[in-house]
Amino acid sequence: MERTLVLVRHGQSDWNLKNLFTGWKDPDLTEQGVSEAIAAGKKLNEMAMKFDIAFTSDLQRAQKTCQHILDGVGQSDLKTIRDQALNERDYGDLAGLNKDDARKKWGEEQVHIWRRSYDVPPPGGESLKDTAARTLPYFITDILPQVMSGKSVLCAAHGNSLRSLVMVLDRLTTTEILDVNLGTGVPMVYKFNADTSVLSKEIINL
Ligand SMILES: O=C(O)[C@@H](CO)OP(=O)(O)O
């Protein structure tokens, strides 16, 4: 039995391009972001990937990426479940600020800690640990059972909401996760063993 999960971060958004902290804000994809999502769909189609169900967040950059990928594999009408649990980490007071301005104000090191550490939340926002406290239960109750029943599942979400899942799937430590950055529109194809452990992971570079 094949148990497949494809995780993909949305394509470039307007605020990625403008270098702004985004979090739960809801900017659209840029032209490049649309191209990345279309390219991801094309690659998965070349691999003859077919999905049984898709999951995405409550934010349009992930939803649109999900739809472009489904269009690319010829499954435009596939059942897609949207849930806030998959939303990006809430960046709190940093949302809307320019990342370079933030580095000037608080220093390179502090901003890196806010962006990539496991348990230090940005002011008024969620740490990766806080994010995992909503993404992981949702993954376990809603997404993993689909995968374990032999389905092929697409999950289009966000840099940090997906880092919280990748940390568990790849068995990374709280130190190792610091260096993990997910590329926009780059699918990660996971296959699972019958005991829910990861059999294989393939990163599909565009
Ligand atoms: O702004 C955000 O919400 C995220 C993802 O783009 O940024 P960062 O990579 O800094 O965590």
Domain holding 100: CATH number?
Answer: 3.40.50.1240
What tokens does 99 get? 């990342």
Please provide the average confidence, as pLDDT, over all residues in the chain.
97
Q: How many domains does the chain have?
A: 1
Q: Read off φ and ψ for residue 74, nearest 5 degrees.
A: 75, 30
For 47-94, how does the pLDDT look when each residue is reduced to its tens digit (9 = 90+)? 999 999 999 999 999 999 999 999 999 999 999 999 999 999 999 999
Is residue 68 among the annotated active site residues?
A: no
Does the active-site annotation cover 10? yes
d(CA 153, CA 203): 16
Query: Closest residue (by CA) to atom 6 of ligand 1?
Result: 16
Flag whether 4 is in a domain. no
Whether 89 maps to a domain, the answer reads yes
Span 91-145, pLDDT tens digits? 999 999 999 999 999 999 999 999 999 999 999 999 999 999 999 999 999 999 9
Q: What residues make up the domain containing 152?
A: 12-203
Please give the number of the atom of ligand 1 that sits closest to the Cα of 23.
3
Give residue-wise pLDDT tens across range 147-156. Answer: 999 999 999 9
The reported pLDDT for the residue numbered 81 is 98
Q: What is the value of pTM for the model shown?
A: 0.97
Domain presence at residue 189? yes
Q: What is the ipTM of this complex?
A: 0.95
- From 29, 90, 91, 180, give the residue whose CB has the most ligand 1 atoms within 8 Å, as the site to mutate: 91
Residue at 64 is within a domain: yes
Say if 146 falls within a structural domain: yes
